[in-house]
Structures are given as C-alpha cells and as structure tokens.
Amino acid sequence: MNPPSLKEFRAKRRSATDTPQQRILESARGEIEEVGIRGLRVAEVAKNAYTSVTLIYRYFGDRDGLLAQVLGDMYAEFQENTVSDFMKQLEPLQPLTVQNVVDAMPDIDDPGFKKRHAQRLQILATAVNNDQLRARIEQITQEQASDWTNALKQVIGSMKPGEKLNLRIFSMMFAMQTMYYRELMGDRAFTQKDYRQFVYDVLKA
C-alpha cells in the first residue's frame, strides 16, 4: 500500500482513536510522499498532525529519530508485502512447478514495483547517515531472510513429483537481492521476459 499523499492526509478526518504518535507518523509519511525524504519538515509534520514540534521531539528524539521510525515502517511493509504477495499467488496453484514459482515473482516493469523500488533505494541511502535507521533496516532484513527461508521451504514441500527447487540458489539470487541497477542500464537492461527465463533456467539446472 502506498503512503497517503499530503492532500489525502489533510482531507482525512481525525479519528477519535488516533494517538498523537499515529498522527505524527501518518503526517510524516504524507510529507515524504509530497516533498521527499530530504524535504521533510518537522514543523509541517507537526502542523498536519495537530501537534507541536516539541511533542515530536519528545516522542522521537529528533528528525533522524522520526525518519528512523517512519522509513523503517515503510521498509518493513515493502519487505513483508514482497513475501506475502509471492505466497498468495502460489496458494491456489498447488502442487507447484518451477514455472509457477517463476511466474509468481514480482513484475519488474510494473509501475507500482518501480515506485516501491525507488522508495526503497531512497530509504537505504538515508540509512547511510542515520544510525537508528540502519539498525532498524538490518533487523528487518535479517527477519525477512528468515521469513523467506520458511516460505521457500513451504514451497519446496508443495512441489509436484519430479519438480525440484534449489533453496540456496533461489534465496541468494531472488529473495535476498533486488535488481538495483537494472534501470541504470538503459537499452542494455535485461527485459522482464529475459529475467524470468534466466531464473527458470537456473532453477531447473
């Protein structure tokens, strides 16, 4: 789910069950959506959360602390959704083939995927100079590695007789890395079809 735009946040009525922390985090996400991570202004976040800058600093320490919480939450959602979306596509197809597994991989040409990919890269870049955010991302990544391992073991246990999936290869090639540099290659970049065929050939080898 994409974070709400600042306009959407402003139009949303305050819920009686909202806590100040929740309003601050929602406001910060809206601000990031509107002006980007570098453009986030704590005063604007406070204004749209109906609170004060002082209260934001009391909850999150400073601007870096606020970013660590908001961007960490966003990063965690990206990672969790990747695993859950993958598994949801496979649920109705059991028993599984290698082709089913390849087809369930994200569409790297999908605009939504590209947007999430760009946001993920921005978060990683921000973590270079934000120790709190880096620590959060490390924790999330390690937890995701465990989630992928458990999910892939479940997939392997659901394969059709004669169909095999190499857990180590799949984990290292797909689950634990993203095509970070593909869009920088221009006309030399591999296509979605080429990538899926490559994955299929490797997994079947």
pLDDT in tens, 65-96: 999 999 999 998 888 888 889 999 999 998 99
Q: CA 60, 62, 65, 67 torsion: positive or negative?
A: positive
pLDDT of 6: 45
- 184-193: average pLDDT: 70
- Please answer whether residues 37 and 120 qualify as being in contact, where contact means their C-beta atoms are separated by less than 8 angstroms: no
pLDDT at 182 over 70: no
CA distance 195 to 40: 36
46-67 residue pLDDT tens: 999 999 999 999 999 999 999 9
Residue ranges per structural domain of the chain? 1-61, 70-204
pLDDT at 164 over 80: yes
What dotted CATH number matches 1-61? 1.10.10.60
Average pLDDT, rounded, for the chain: 82
- 147-166: average pLDDT: 88
- Please answer whether residues 30 and 74 qualify as being in contact, where contact means their C-beta atoms are separated by less than 8 angstroms: no
pLDDT at 174 over 50: yes
pLDDT at 33 over 80: yes
Q: What one-character-per-residue DSSP string does 27-45 give?
A: HHHHHHHHH-STT--HHHH
- 30-37: average pLDDT: 91
pLDDT of 12: 53
pLDDT of 204: 73
Find where tokens 């959407």 sit.
Answer: 8
Q: Which two tokens stand for residue 183?
A: 């869009």
Burial of 142 per CB tally in 10 Å (0-12, 13-18, 19+): exposed
Given 3-state DSSP classes, what are the helix, strand and coil percentages for the chain, each rounded to the nearest 5? Answer: 70, 0, 30
Residue 41 backbone zone (phi > 0: left; psi -120 to 50: alpha; other: beta): beta
